[in-house]
């Protein structure tokens, strides 16, 4: 693999419940909305599960993802192709964290920051929708 070893860990506060982060990362329809464009196989289920694979492109370079581990507050993806390494997401009420390590020619910290803020925006919007539904009742 060409590139250099890079490592980045970011954690931000977001006014959103952990269930929103979980759904945003594990529900394929939500994941496709904030982290686009993703390519899943036709046979994909509605939720990610251990062993699932998906990919996305940065220009002409494909980055493959394989779900290595997941639980209620953590998702770990093995990356190959344009990035050889892993990304781990952790979350709780009011915060989300991403750790990324790999070899790549891409500036991983920049991409990770952009993804984290896209997720923050999506999760904040989902939290607002839930709050509005509850206030109408």
Q: What is the DSSP string of 97-132?
A: EEEEEEEESS-HHHHHHHHHHHHHHHHHHHHHHHHH
pLDDT of 59 above 90: no
How many domains would you assign to the chain?
1
DSSP letters for 79-106: EEES-EEEEEEEEETTEEEEEEEEEESS
Instruction: Establish if 38 belongs to a structural domain.
Output: yes
Domain holding 72, by residue range, is 8-136
pLDDT per position as a tens digit, 6-26: 999 999 999 999 999 999 999
Instruction: Establish if 3 belongs to a structural domain.
Output: no
pLDDT of 36 above 80: no
pLDDT per position as a tens digit, 70-94: 999 999 999 999 999 999 999 999 9
Instruction: Establish if 43 belongs to a structural domain.
Output: yes
């Amino acid at each position: 693999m060409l590139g250099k070893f890079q490592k980045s860990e970011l954690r931000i506060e977001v006014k959103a419940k952990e269930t929103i982060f979980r759904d945003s990362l594990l529900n394929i329809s939500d994941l496709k909305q904030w982290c686009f464009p993703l390519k899943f196989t036709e046979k994909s289920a509605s939720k990610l599960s251990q062993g699932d694979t998906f990919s996305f492109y940065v220009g002409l370079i494909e980055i493959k993802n394989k779900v290595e581990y997941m639980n209620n507050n953590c998702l770990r993806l093995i990356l190959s192709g344009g990035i050889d390494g892993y990304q781990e997401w952790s979350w709780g009420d009011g915060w989300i964290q991403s750790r990324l390590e790999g070899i790549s020619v891409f500036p991983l910290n920049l991409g990770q920051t952009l993804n984290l803020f896209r997720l923050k925006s999506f999760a904040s919007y989902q939290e607002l929708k839930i709050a509005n539904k509850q206030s109408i009742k």
